[in-house]
Structure 1
Amino acid sequence: MSLWWEEKKLEVYNSTSKESYYYLIQITTDSPLSNVTFYMPLPMLNNTSSVGQNIINSTYDNQRVKWETTFVETEHGPMLSMRTEKIEPKFALRGDGPDTYPRAVDFAIIVFSNDTIDTRNPVGNAEVLMPRYNSTNLGTITNYRNAISYSYDSRIYAHYEASPDANVQIYIQLEAQNEWWIGGAQSNSYRELIITDFSGPQDGWVIVNGGLVTGEGTYLNE
Structure 2
Amino acid sequence: MNTRTLGIVAVALLVVVAVVGGGLWTVGRLSFLDSYGSEYDYTVRVSADEQITNVTIFVPLPVYEGHSEIGAVVESRDYLKPDAWSYDVVETRHGPMLRLRADELPGEPTYHRAVIEDDRLVRWEQIPPEEYARNDSETLRVEHDAIEVNARLTVDRSVDTKSPARTEPVLHPRSNPRAVPCDWPHDSDETQCYSYDSLIFVEYDGPETTRLTVTTELSGTNSWWVGGWNFNEYTDRITVYDLPADQRGWVVVEGELQTGVGNYPRNPPQ
* Distance in structure 1 (CA, Å) of the matches to 2:193 and 2:23: 36
Q: Is the 8 A contact 2:76 2:148 kept in 1?
A: no
* Distance in structure 2 (CA, Å) of the matches to 1:135 and 1:90: 41
The answer to whether the aligner puts 1:194 opposite 2:233 as a matched pair is no
Q: Unaligned regions of 5+ residues in structure 1, if any?
A: 92-101
The answer to whether the aligner puts 1:114 opposite 2:159 as a matched pair is no
Q: Deviations over 1:142-197 (max 9, x none)?
A: 64320001000111011111111111111112121100112321100011221113
* Aligned residue identity for 1:88: P
The answer to whether the aligner puts 1:36 opposite 2:55 as a matched pair is yes
Stretches of 4+ aligned residues off by more than 6 angstroms: 1-8
* Distance in structure 2 (CA, Å) of the matches to 1:63 and 1:125: 37
| TM-score, normalization by structure 2 | 0.69
Could you say which residue in structure 1 is the equivalent of 2:5?
none
1:77 to 90, 95, 103: 95
- Secondary structure, in 3 states, of the residue corresponding to 1:119? coil
User: How far apart are 1:50 and its partner, in Å?
Assistant: 2.2
* Distance in structure 2 (CA, Å) of the matches to 1:59 and 1:171: 15
Q: How many correspondences in the alignment?
A: 211
| 1:71-220 → structure 2 map (5 Å cutoff) | 71-89=89-107, 103-139=145-181, 143-196=187-240, 197-200=242-245, 203-220=248-265
* Distance in structure 1 (CA, Å) of the matches to 2:182 and 2:246: 39
Q: Is the 8 A contact 1:147 1:216 kept in 2?
A: yes
Identity value in percent: 28
Q: Is the 8 A contact 2:44 2:216 kept in 1?
A: yes
Q: Which has the higher strand share?
A: 1
Could you say which residue in structure 1 is the equivalent of 2:39?
20
* Distance in structure 2 (CA, Å) of the matches to 1:73 and 1:126: 20
Q: Is the 8 A contact 1:160 1:201 kept in 2?
A: no
1:62 to 57, 64, 79: 79
- Secondary structure, in 3 states, of the residue corresponding to 1:13? helix
Q: Is the 8 A contact 2:76 2:150 kept in 1?
A: no
Q: Which has the higher helix share?
A: 2
* Aligned residue identity for 1:112: T
User: How far apart are 1:206 and its partner, in Å?
Assistant: 0.5
User: How far apart are 1:202 and its partner, in Å?
Assistant: 5.7
- Secondary structure, in 3 states, of the residue corresponding to 1:64? coil
- Secondary structure, in 3 states, of the residue corresponding to 2:165? coil
| Two-structure CA RMSD over aligned residues (Å) | 2.7
User: How far apart are 1:104 and its partner, in Å?
Assistant: 3.0
* Distance in structure 2 (CA, Å) of the matches to 1:4 and 1:120: 32
Q: Is the 8 A contact 1:160 1:202 kept in 2?
A: no
Q: Unaligned regions of 5+ residues in structure 2, if any?
A: 1-17, 110-143
* Aligned residue identity for 1:71: V
Q: Is the 8 A contact 1:27 1:170 kept in 2?
A: yes
* Distance in structure 2 (CA, Å) of the matches to 1:178 and 1:90: 41
Greater Cα shift, 107-116 or 19-28: 107-116
- Secondary structure, in 3 states, of the residue corresponding to 2:164? coil
Q: Is the 8 A contact 1:140 1:146 kept in 2?
A: no
Q: Is the 8 A contact 1:34 1:161 kept in 2?
A: yes
* Distance in structure 2 (CA, Å) of the matches to 1:59 and 1:166: 25
* Aligned residue identity for 1:126: E
